[in-house]
Amino acid sequence: MLSTPSSVLPGPVLAIESSCDETACAILSSDGTCLAQRVVSQDGHADFGGVVPEIAARAHLALLPGLVRATLADAQLTANDIGFVASTTGPGLIGGLIVGSGFGKGLALALGKPFVAVNHVEAHALTARIPGLVPGGAPFPYLLLLVSGGHCQCIAVEGVGQYRKLGGTIDDAAGEAFDKVAKMLGLGWPGGPALEKLARDGNPKTIPLPRPLLGREGCDFSFSGLKTALSQKLAPFGQSPLPRQFAADLAASFQQAVADVVADRITHALRMMPDAGLLVCAGGVAANSVLRARLETVAEQHGIRFAAPPLKLCTDNAVMVGWAALETCQEAARRGLPQPDDTATRPRPRWPLDEMAHRFAATL
């Protein structure tokens, strides 16, 4: 929870998220209380089996003005009541980042308020610290498993702006693998929730599948071989419809294989970070109940707590963006630095977390 007096922080913050296919806006008070939030999951991508960057960017452009006005109305505030504006500025799809950050900067300039550029991955990393989200709070350091359609990383979260990547995917991200396997099974897109639903009717022990990198040193991930092995199980059926029970067993077996791999990789990550008192799982795939249960067991075995955001904060949202901006402002105040104004910061499709320490480099 924020320890700096709210008078030091220029709240409330209006936050915007537009890094992929969710268009989101949220308003948080100086102490991190969410005053209002809205998220629009864009239509128009399912027919293409994935997010089309151009469609996403155009949708952000069309949706943002009305979404911001509606969120202000929900919070019973006017634009002039806002203390500063924050937008996701990377990493992500560059078109969406340009739209969201450009809108945020324009609004900040029009209001004469500061603008804070937020790293999307850092926002996920700090979500567990939102007041009231995790019983007992989430003090540093802790281990973060970020699992989504675009990311699969183990990150040592040691402080605001202080992150160490312990391992990551060497091919497909976990969410990407879920979506691709769901497509193979004819479940459409996005595939993760549909695959989990189908897997409930299946037996995860029926169909043998590999566990890539299981037992290997380090905590890198690989899901491409698992995906290929599953496709080979489908080959004998050709273009014929899959028997439903076989499809359910295959979905359950795939889901269990992913959970086994992730549990093994997290066990190795915890050995690399013995001072971690908390395991946090964030990102869209953190909504998967089988994965959550398996990670909770791993945490218990290591004598540490486990936390995952509520389902509505697992996927991309603007609450986490506003919170990351507030944490950044607090850290600047704690170090005696001026409050940040990132109007000159350009959107970036890639923005490594280890670069976030540069914001506070004057006092490191």
- The answer to whether the annotation marks 124 as part of a ligand binding site is yes
- The answer to whether the annotation marks 242 as part of a ligand binding site is no
- The answer to whether the annotation marks 303 as part of a ligand binding site is no
Per the CB < 8 A criterion, the answer to whether 185 and 254 are in contact is: no
**CA neighbor of 214 nearest in space, from 155, 268, 270:** 268
- The answer to whether the annotation marks 148 as part of a ligand binding site is yes
- The answer to whether the annotation marks 196 as part of a ligand binding site is yes
**Half-sphere exposure for 62 (CA within 13 Å, toward CB):** 10
- The answer to whether the annotation marks 112 as part of a ligand binding site is no
- The answer to whether the annotation marks 151 as part of a ligand binding site is no
**Half-sphere exposure for 78 (CA within 13 Å, toward CB):** 2
Q: Is 299 left (phi over 0), alpha (psi -120 to 50) or beta?
A: alpha
In the 3-class helix/strand/coil scheme, how is 86-99 assigned residue by residue? EEEEECCCHHHHHH
Handedness of CA 211, 286, 169, 141 (dihedral sign): negative
- The answer to whether the annotation marks 119 as part of a ligand binding site is no
- Rounded Cα distance between 306 and 297, Å, is 9
- The answer to whether the annotation marks 120 as part of a ligand binding site is yes
Per the CB < 8 A criterion, the answer to whether 122 and 258 are in contact is: no
- The answer to whether the annotation marks 60 as part of a ligand binding site is no
- Rounded Cα distance between 180 and 286, Å, is 17
Could you write out the DSSP letters of every residue in 338-350? PPP--TTPPP-S-
Annotated binding site: 120, 124, 146-150, 179, 192, 196, 288, 316
Annotated binding site for substrate: 146-150, 179, 192, 196, 288
Annotated binding site for Fe cation: 120, 124, 316
